[in-house]
C-alpha cells in the first residue's frame, strides 16, 4: 500500500498537483517578481518610436498630355500631387483632369479643386481636409479657362 501511495504522489507531483508545489506557486503569485523592464523605467531610459517617412508633395504643371503619366506614377507611389493647369489650354486641361481623376479613382484616392486651375490629388492613404468655401461665382470646373 505504501508503494502505491508513493507512486500516486509521484504521478501527482509530475502532473503539478503536489501540495508543496501548489503552495510554492501560490506564494510566487502573491509576491510579484521584479521585471527587468521595471528597473529601466526608474532610470529614465529613452524609448525610440517608429520613425515616419518624410512626405513629399509633387507639384506638376503639365504642358503636354504625355506629362500625365508622371502624375499617375506619383499617385501609385502614394505621393500627393498638386496639378497646376492655369497656363494650360482648355483642351489639355480637360484631358488632364479627366485622366488624373480616373487614375485617382482607380487607386481609391481623392481629388479636389483647390483654386482656379489648381487641383489636389491624393492617394488612398491620405484624406483632404478643406476649409474652402463654395466659390459661387464660378461657372463649372474649368471657369479659369477662356
DSSP one-letter string for 96-126: HHHHHHHHHHHTT-EEEEEETTEEEEE-TT-
Is the per-residue pLDDT at 86 higher than 90?
A: yes
Residue 55 pLDDT = 76
Higher pLDDT, 90 or 2: 90
- Looking at domain 58-122, its CATH architecture is 2-Layer Sandwich (3.30)
Strand ranges inside the chain, DSSP E: 58-60, 81-84, 110-115, 118-122
Higher pLDDT, 91 or 53: 91
CA–CA separation, 144 and 90 (whole Å): 9
User: Are 144 and 117 a contacting pair, CB within 8 Å?
Assistant: yes
Domain positions in the chain: 1-30, 58-122
User: Are 119 and 112 a contacting pair, CB within 8 Å?
Assistant: yes
Mean pLDDT of 16-28: 53
Return the exposure string of 15-48: e unless at least 16 CB atoms fall within 10 Å of the residue's CB, then b: eeebeeeeeeeeeeeeeeeeeeeeeeeeeeeeee
Residue pLDDT, tens place only, 26-75: 555 555 555 555 544 455 666 556 656 677 889 999 999 999 999 999 99
Residue 102 pLDDT = 95
How many residues does the structure list for the chain?
Answer: 146
Higher pLDDT, 77 or 135: 77
Residue pLDDT, tens place only, 107-146: 999 999 998 999 999 998 888 887 766 554 445 555 555 5
pTM, full prediction: 0.56
Amino acid at each position: 500500500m505504501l508503494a502505491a501511495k508513493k507512486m500516486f504522489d509521484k504521478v501527482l507531483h509530475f502532473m503539478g498537483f503536489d501540495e508543496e508545489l501548489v503552495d510554492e506557486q501560490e506564494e510566487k503569485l502573491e509576491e510579484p517578481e521584479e521585471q527587468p523592464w521595471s528597473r529601466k523605467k526608474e532610470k529614465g531610459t529613452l524609448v525610440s518610436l517608429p520613425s515616419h517617412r518624410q512626405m513629399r508633395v509633387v507639384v506638376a504643371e503639365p504642358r503636354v498630355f504625355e506629362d500625365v503619366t508622371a502624375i499617375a506614377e506619383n499617385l501609385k507611389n502614394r505621393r500627393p500631387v498638386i496639378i497646376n493647369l492655369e497656363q494650360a489650354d482648355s483642351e489639355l486641361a480637360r484631358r488632364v483632369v479627366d485622366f488624373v481623376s480616373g487614375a485617382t479613382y482607380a487607386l481609391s484616392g481623392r481629388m479636389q479643386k483647390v483654386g482656379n486651375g489648381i487641383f489636389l490629388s491624393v492617394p488612398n492613404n491620405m484624406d483632404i481636409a478643406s476649409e474652402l468655401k463654395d466659390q459661387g461665382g464660378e461657372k463649372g470646373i474649368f471657369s479659369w479657362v477662356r
